[in-house]
């Protein structure tokens, strides 16, 4: 892949040791017979799909979850041979490719099974296609909703000479990260009613994302889909406290490219929305909304020389401006996410200011911002 942005001092730093720490914590806490699969969809939540997957494997993850087929194929091309589950619906026309690459897929309808079977037969595929039946217990996204429909699908998978491997069954909780567990319990009851029609459960029975495993551990089944907590981010935001320390893996830095005095009455950026009330110093930082640093972060702050510095004026596509405490040299480090001195800006802080969740901020960081990986224990910096 062509790297665009390597000659600009704007970087996402990913601490792979933090990834391993978070997995270690979960591995220690979970049942020894329960597997942990690392969720590395959306380019590893913005952290980088392949390096994160490799670090997760080293820490004990025995499989991976992704959202789309191409993410699974990227892991296969990187030489990862562990089980991979695509959590989203893949068009059945790709059934032969999926089976040949030994990738597992989520299935939520009988029609999908019928269409995929036809494709497998037409292509004379001998390798079985591994299927995880998705049950919609209240998420309202994908999956079987009634015991009758589920029962027909199970019968299809277990027919003699079936082209499928009934590998798993799962659901996803909508409110596992909330203090009020009313809807969570509703989904539990729906799950129980659905799986009651499956006499012989498949190898993998899983309901736990990060939030479920953190706060509803008894529901884990025999597989945890370890997602946002893998990256050291609390899936509940600030509502619930995690049972162990989650170590954030991501930081975002840049460097001042231009420093100038701004006289009282002068304005900054598009729309002239900021006007200096006194003489001050302003610095330009080479990052903007095209890099995933949201335009709505005007008025927020960055860290420079251990001090909070306000973002002044509208954030541009490729640059933003900050008010400096004094004249600072070009090249001075700017921390947009992370720690500088005694101060820290977290992804949660950025998300709170934007009125969103940290998932969106992390996933939105553009690929033109290079990812730099460190693993102190392994002596890696790249």
List binding-site positions: 141, 317
Task: Count the neighbouring beta carbons within 10 Å of the beta carbon of residue 260.
Answer: 12
* Unique residue bearing structure tokens 């200011």: 353
Q: Angle at CA 53, nearest 5°, toward 191 and 11? A: 120
Catalytic residue among 57, 124, 204, 270: 270
Q: How many CB atoms lie within 10 A of CB 317?
A: 11
- Contact assessment for residue 189 and residue 154, using Cβ atoms and an 8 Å cutoff: no
In the annotation, is 41 catalytic? yes
Residue 132 makes CB contacts below 8 A (sequence gap 6+) with 85, 104, 105, 106, 107, 167, 168, 169, 170, 202, 204
H or E stretch covering 134: strand 129-134
Q: How far is CA 292 from CA 10, 153, 236, 289, in A?
A: 12, 42, 22, 5
Q: What is the DSSP letter of 245?
A: -
**Residue 270 falls in the annotated catalytic set:** yes
* Alpha carbon distances (Å) from 374 to 8, 9, 35, 227, 379: 19, 17, 26, 20, 8
- Which of 20, 41, 274, 373 is catalytic? The answer is 41
3-class DSSP assignment, residue 125 = coil
Residues contributing to the annotated binding site for substrate: 141, 317
Burial of 362 (0-12, 13-18, 19+ CB in 10 A): buried
348 alpha carbon, distance to own chain's centre: 14
Residue 312 tokens read as: 């002044």
Q: Which of these, 328, 309, 323, lies nearest to 267 by C-alpha position?
A: 323
The residues with which 225 forms a beta bridge, in sequence order, are 37
> 208: which DSSP letter?
B
User: Which residue do the tokens 């969809």 mark?
Assistant: 41
CB-based burial of residue 306 (10 Å sphere; 0-12 exposed, 13-18 middle, 19+ buried)? exposed
Q: What is the dihedral of CA 174, 180, 182, 185, to 10 degrees?
A: 60
Tell me which residues are annotated as active site. 41, 270
């Amino acid at each position: 892949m062509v790297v665009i942005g390597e000659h600009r001092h704007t970087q996402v730093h990913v601490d792979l040791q933090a990834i391993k720490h978070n997995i270690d914590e979960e591995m220690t806490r979970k049942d020894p017979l329960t597997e942990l699969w690392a969720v590395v969809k959306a380019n590893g939540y913005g952290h980088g799909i392949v390096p994160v997957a490799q670090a997760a494997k080293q820490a004990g993850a025995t499989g991976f979850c992704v959202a789309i087929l191409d993410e699974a194929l990227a892991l296969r091309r990187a030489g990862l041979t562990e089980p991979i589950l695509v959590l989203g619906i893949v068009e059945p026309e790709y059934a032969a490719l999926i089976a040949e690459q030994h990738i597992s897929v989520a299935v939520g309808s009988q029609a999908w099974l019928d269409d995929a079977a036809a494709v497998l037969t037409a292509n004379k595929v001998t390798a079985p296609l591994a299927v995880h039946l998705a049950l919609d217990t209240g998420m309202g996204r994908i999956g079987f909703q009634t015991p009758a429909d589920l029962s027909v699908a199970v019968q299809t998978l277990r027919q003699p000479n079936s082209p499928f491997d009934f590998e798993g069954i799962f659901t996803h909780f909508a409110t596992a990260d909330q203090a009020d567990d009313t809807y969570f319990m509703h989904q539990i009851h729906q799950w129980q009613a659905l799986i009651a029609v499956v006499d012989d459960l498949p190898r993998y029975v899983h309901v736990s994302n990060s939030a479920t495993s953190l706060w509803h551990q008894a529901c884990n089944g025999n597989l945890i889909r370890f997602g946002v907590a893998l990256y050291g981010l609390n899936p509940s935001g600030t509502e619930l406290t995690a049972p162990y320390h989650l170590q954030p893996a991501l930081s975002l830095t840049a460097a001042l490219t231009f420093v100038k005095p701004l006289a009282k009455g002068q304005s900054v950026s598009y729309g002239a929305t900021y006007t200096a009330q006194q003489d001050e110093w302003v610095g330009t930082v080479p990052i903007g909304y095209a890099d995933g640093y949201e335009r709505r972060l005007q008025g927020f702050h960055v860290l420079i020389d251990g001090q909070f510095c306000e973002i002044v004026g509208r954030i541009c596509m490729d640059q933003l401006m900050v008010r400096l405490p004094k004249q600072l040299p070009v090249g001075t480090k700017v921390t947009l996410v992370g720690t500088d001195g005694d101060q820290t800006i977290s992804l949660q802080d950025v998300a709170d200011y934007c009125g969103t969740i940290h998932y969106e901020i992390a996933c939105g960081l553009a690929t033109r911002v290079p990812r730099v990986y460190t693993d102190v224990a392994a002596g890696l910096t790249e």
